[in-house]
Structure formats: C-alpha cells, structure tokens
Amino acid sequence: MMLPLHFRELGQGRPLVILHGLFGTLDNWQTLARRWSEHFRVIVVDLRNHGRSPHANEHTYELMSADVLGLFDQLQLGNDVTLLGHSMGGKVAMRFALDYPERLARLVVLDIAPRFSDMAHQDEILAGLNAVDLNTVQSRQEADDALAQHIRQPGVRQFLLKNLYRREDNSFAWRPNLAVLTAEMNDIGAEISHAHPFLKPALFIRGGRSNYISTEDKLHSIPALFPNSQVETIVDAGHWIHAEAPDQVFEMVTAFTNQ
C-alpha cells in the first residue's frame, strides 16, 4: 500500500527531490538542501519506516517507488524533475526512474549500484541499535554507551543517534521502524532490475574510498539499465559522500541539473 511521505520544501524553480539512505532522515540533507534552494525547488523526503514518515510491515523498492510517485502526484510535479538518492535512497531513485521514466528529466545516484548489495556489513549497526534498551535508557550518553559495545566509530554512532527522540512521556524511541528494517534487510540489498532501461540522463557519483560502485558496475550493471549515464568519482570520499565532500557533490549535481 502506498504511504504518504513526510517531506520538507525549500526554494523555488526546477524541482530537485532528495532521498536519504538506510537509517537516515531528510535532516541529513539540510545543509546541502539549503544551498541548492538558492537555485532549485528542493524537496527532501523521509522514506517509509524512516524519519517522520509512516511505518509499515513491508519495505520493498517496488513499494518505496510507489510512495515517491504518490508524493510527486501530491505536489503536482511535472516532468522536469531531478531525482537524487543516496545508498538505499539511490536504489529507490533508480527503481522510480525505471518504473515512471515519464515523471523525470534526470537521475542522480550517490554511491550505490543496481546490483544486489550484501547487507552483512549492517549486522553490527542492527546489533547496536537493538542493544539500546529504550525502557531503561535515561540519556543520549547512555544510548551511545550501548551502541559503542557494537559500533566503534563515533561518527557512525552520532549519525544513528540523530534517530533517537523523546516521546511526550519523556521516554526515548527510535524514528526508524527497527523491527521491520531488521527483518527486511535482504530486501534492502535487493538488485534493481527492469525490462526497459531509463534512457534519460543519469549521473552516478561514487566515493573513491568506497566499494559500493565497482569498476564492473561502471562497465556493465549501470549502463545496462542507464545507457545515458556517466559515473564520476570523488577520490577522497567514502560511502557518506555528501557528508565528506559536500562542495564537490553540490557542484556536480548543480551542473548536471542545469544541463
């Protein structure tokens, strides 16, 4: 079933719609969204089971693509839209472009390929999130201490803790639908495929220190579905490319959208 997605809008002009990655929210994109809003009508979105969007028991790319279509219809977006997605959001964006090509002018994908992604690397993150006892935790520091038993990198913990909020009764809760995301992790890694390629312009930006887009993807899996695509590399960035190299991402996406 299609879900009504939570979103935020800034600026005016040609629409640029932004989809976050796994365990992310639209808040992760606020700094770049503000910069782009001086040039475009920017719409930052919380995907299902994330942020302030509704929770559901299913988490497939087919359904997430349909959710985004519902938002396009709600906002009465024409066909001059740039759709940008990072990681899981990049797979949603690819699936949307293939499902509804007439609704887009161009596609931007950050550091993800259409092939199946092995999600085993998320095990420690899931273990950490599930280790935080929301019934007893009294502070963010206590939550961070619980996460640290499984996740060594402080930056990853800080990213995840942005999802922790206080309910009206002052207890803590996670914004993501942790139970469903844990159960559906294989679907989140699913390959994106389609009978017909997306023929409009597509820009893939990969991090030079990331292995999410391989040379094989650049030569085969990406052009098979997106024959009018280019793959650019930001040498000094890892997977969190927009956080690590915001100026370069800003310039690349602005130039591509203005083509």
Instruction: List the catalytic residues.
Output: 87, 239
Angle of helix 140-148 relative to helix 154-161, nearest 10 degrees?
130
Gap between the Cα atoms of 45 and 51, Å rounded: 9
Buried b (16+ CB within 10 A) or exposed e, 65-92: bbbbeebbeeeebeeebbbbbbbbbbbb
Length of the chain: 259
Buried b (16+ CB within 10 A) or exposed e, 129-164: beebeeeebeeeeebbebbeebbeeeebbebbeebb
